Amino acid sequence: MILPLLQIALIAAVGLYLGHLRGRIRRRNTQSWNSLLARLRPEWSARLQGDHSLWQEALNVTPEDAWQRIEGPKGLWAMYENAQVMMEMADYAAKNSDTFDRLVLEGLRSDAMQIRVCVFVTLGQYALSKANEGIRINAFRTASTYARMASQLTTFLQVSQPGMVPNFVAAM
């Protein structure tokens, strides 16, 4: 008696999840560029990590300085959310352009996943102990990857959709 009920509950849960996933995919595919820009979290910017510009590849800060600049867990979470939005921006630009580099797009996807995993690891470590040297180094690596991703996305947009670059740089 219980086994059929569990099977029905499992099938219903999977059906609800697939319906929810389908709705998210549909909303993602119908987003406009302005709605993507509006989703970027302005509390933390890649520009804060570099010396002069968003396009600068190398970060010129120490792990301790980076931890202070990103404001700890708050900045890490903003990077987590912005990495997803920047990935959606790259997909949007690729979808609406004939000229884009697939390798760069794959690199952006890889960076977004790396940022998201690093943020979870760092926040998990932070929850278990306060900001020690290892946590600061992980946050520094995450911030470095985030700044590199923002730089690469800017370059990607310059090639595929030049009109989108000023809005993106202003939002970052």
* Rg of the chain over all Cα atoms, to the nearest angstrom: 19
Cα angle 169-29-42, degrees, rounded to a multiple of 5: 30
CB 155, CB 119: distance < 8 Å: no
CB 86, CB 112: distance < 8 Å: yes
pLDDT bucket at 104, cuts 50 / 70 / 90: confident
Residues 26 and 104 in one domain: no
DSSP, residue by residue, 65-77: HHHHHTTTHHHHH
Total Cβ atoms within 10 A of residue 90: 25
What does the block give as tokens for 80? 């987590």
Say what percent of the chain tops pLDDT 70.
86
pLDDT score recorded for residue 131: 66
Residues 6+ away with beta carbon under 8 Å from 171: 37, 40, 42
Give residue-wise pLDDT tens across range 57-103: 444 667 777 778 888 888 888 888 888 888 888 888 778 777 777 78
Which residue shows structure tokens 């996933």?
21
CB 161, CB 106: distance < 8 Å: no
Residues 39 and 11 in one domain: no
Residues 97 and 125 in one domain: yes
pTM value is 0.71
- In this predicted model, which residue has the larger pLDDT, 41 or 121? 121
When divided into structural domains, the chain yields a total of: 2
Residues 19 and 41 in one domain: no
* Residue span of the structural domain in which 8 resides: 1-30
Residues 99 and 167 in one domain: yes
Sign of the Cα pseudo-torsion (144, 146, 148, 150, in order): negative
pLDDT score recorded for residue 55: 36
pLDDT score recorded for residue 57: 40
